[in-house]
Amino acid sequence: MAAEQPSALPIARTCPYAPREEHVRLREEEPVSRVTLPTGTQAWAVTRHEDVRTLLADPRFSSDRSRPGFPMVEERSKQSASVLPRMLVSMDPPEHGPARRAVLGEFTVKRMNALRPRIQEIVDEHVDAMLAGPRPVDLVRALSLPVPSLVICELLGVPYDDHEFFQSRSASIVSHTASHEDQKTALVDLAVYLDGLLRAKEAEPGDDLLSRQIGRQREEKGSVDRHDLTGLAFLLLSAGHETTANMISLAVLQLARNPEAREALRRDPGGTPHAVEELLRYFTIAEQAVGRVAAEDVELGGQLIRAGEGVLVLSHAANRDPRAFPDPDAFDAGRGARNHLAFGYGAHQCLGQNLARMELQIVVDTLLRRLPGLEPAVPVDGLPFKDDAIVYGIHEFPVTW
Amino acid sequence: MSMRVSVEEDRCCGSGQCVLLAPDVFDQREDDGTVVLLDPAPPEGLHEEVRESAAVCPGAAIGVREDA
């Protein structure tokens, strides 16, 4: 008799403000259990905060997306995983450590603090444009998308004159209305551009990430691998553009829904860092980014996970684990919990997390100060949320003030 | 209560949370973001932040020993 297929695990979000019931039930009743993913493959689902940390800290679980058994939640990821260049996110020890350390210096707290004035400028420019423009306006197009894309321009060392080009191609790549052809063209345009930019920096280095990576490669390998560095630039773009953009939109939404919290922040911007942490925990937008495949048999949460079996982390549910967060489903801007899993955990924890924090803090403070009347221009229940996307967010967010 | 802090550089993932929480105790190396322990015996006023740093560290790289 055929073995019973483990229950199907729906992944798409149904509510912006809480994890799916099915995920919560698993967390409470079957914390480490077999499920069937929408792709038809089977995997383990891990939902408790403590188990997620144990899993992500255990080197016996591989991050290699090309390994058979790696849990893919949708067909698209399955296909693209095989053609993606070997990126940090997919590396295991011993390759991972040195590769990550080679770029870590670009993301230290000190470096992020040095970017603060420029980020503030970028945010102010976009608020200026909003104030001078018509209302209502789509927050996503006017602020959420351009700000992180321009910050990445700063990081990479894209010359000012090329910012518009870079920004429009990045927007195309993540657009849900752009055709596949347009998206492909945008990708190629950017790849060609980056190759040219790298050549220019090889000849004349600047004070930026790409120039420093060129210098590092020359020192360590004697030559420059432009393909590798283009891949790095794309990784930073794909990891740091839409994610931060989505959080900006959701931050504005959540503060609009919570006038008390908004007022408290306006009166005391010192509370912004805690509010940003709570926004990150509350929405846990990058849930689908976190999966592993067992490289050997491992026991977790009383279950035996066999080598070759995939494990999916349901971070949104884990970030509402009452064992880790008192009154977990409440949005408490003053909670100050830094142990959430929105940026993951372990050796692969988000490289850009401090950049994300800084961008969000600056956006929240600036909007509260300069656009205090900012509010949704449509009922928020009708907003087009990215229910099916790999990173949760809002497609369009008409706002007014 | 005295506190003795230690760090394991090999486990450090460079997340910088310790630096954000307790900048008088932790710093990051400029070239590769690895933790630098500034004060292995921090004063009592910083003990809370150091405990939190150890708790949130994604690499579990911070060791805290407390003696009465």
Tens-level pLDDT at each residue, chain A (401 residues): 445 688 999 999 999 999 999 999 999 999 999 999 988 889 999 999 999 999 999 999 999 988 999 998 766 554 444 444 557 888 999 999 998 999 999 999 999 999 999 999 999 999 999 999 999 999 999 999 999 999 999 999 999 899 989 888 888 887 778 888 888 899 899 999 999 999 999 999 999 999 999 999 999 989 999 888 988 888 888 889 999 999 999 999 999 999 999 999 999 999 999 999 999 999 999 987 789 999 999 999 999 999 999 999 999 999 999 999 999 999 999 999 999 999 999 999 999 999 999 999 999 999 999 999 999 999 999 999 998 888 999 999 999 99
User: Would residue A221 count as lying in a domain?
Assistant: no
**Closest residue, chain B, to A57 (C-alpha):** B59
Contact across the interface for A104 and B14, Cβ inside 8 Å: yes
pLDDT digits (tens, 9 = 90+) for A296-354: 999 999 999 999 999 999 999 999 999 999 999 999 999 999 999 999 999 999 999 99
Q: Which of A57, A339, A348 sits opposite B55 (nearest CB)?
A: A339
CA A316 to chain centre: 13
For the record, the structure tokens of A307 come out as: 């080598």
Per-residue model confidence (pLDDT) at position B27: 97
Per-residue model confidence (pLDDT) at position A3: 58
Tell me how close the Cα of A383 comes to any Cα of chain B, in angstroms.
34
What is A216-239 written as a DSSP string? HHHHHHSS--HHHHHHHHHHHHHH
Q: Are A277 and A265 in contact (CB under 8 A)?
A: no
Report the C-alpha dihedral over residues A358, A99, B53, A327, rounded to 10 degrees.
70
Contact across the interface for B14 and A110, Cβ inside 8 Å: no
Q: Which amino acid is at A153?
A: C
Q: Which of B13, B28, B34 sits opposite A349 (nearest CB)?
A: B13
User: H helices within A204-292, ranges in order?
Assistant: 209-221, 226-240, 242-257, 259-267, 272-283
Q: What is the pTM of this model?
A: 0.94
User: Would residue A152 count as lying in a domain?
Assistant: no
Sketch out chain B's domains with CATH numbers: 2-67 (3.30.70.20)
User: Would residue A383 count as lying in a domain?
Assistant: yes
User: Would residue A101 count as lying in a domain?
Assistant: yes
User: Would residue A384 count as lying in a domain?
Assistant: yes
| Domain of A248, in residue numbers | 21-145+241-400
User: Would residue A42 count as lying in a domain?
Assistant: yes
Q: Select the more confidently predicted residue: A171 or B16.
A: B16
Per-residue model confidence (pLDDT) at position A175: 79
Per-residue model confidence (pLDDT) at position A78: 47
d(C-alpha A290, C-alpha A312), whole Å: 7
Task: Identify residues of A whose CB sits under 8 angstroms from chain B CBs.
Answer: 56-57, 100-102, 104-105, 107-110, 338-339, 343-351, 353-354
Per-residue model confidence (pLDDT) at position A76: 54
**Backbone angles phi and psi of A295, in degrees to 5:** -90, -20
User: Would residue A282 count as lying in a domain?
Assistant: yes
User: Would residue A75 count as lying in a domain?
Assistant: yes
Task: Identify residues of B whose CB sits under 8 angstroms from chain A CBs.
Answer: 13-17, 19-21, 23, 28-34, 52, 55-56, 58-60
Number of domains in chain A: 1
**Closest residue, chain A, to B59 (C-alpha):** A346
Per-residue model confidence (pLDDT) at position A88: 87
- Mutation site, B11, B12, B15, B51, interface A, largest A CB count within 10 A: B15
Which CATH number does the domain housing residue A140 bear?
Answer: 1.10.630.10
- Provide, as residue numbers in chain B, all residues whose Cβ is less than 8 Å from the Cβ of A108: 14, 16, 19, 28, 30, 33
d(C-alpha A377, C-alpha B7), whole Å: 50
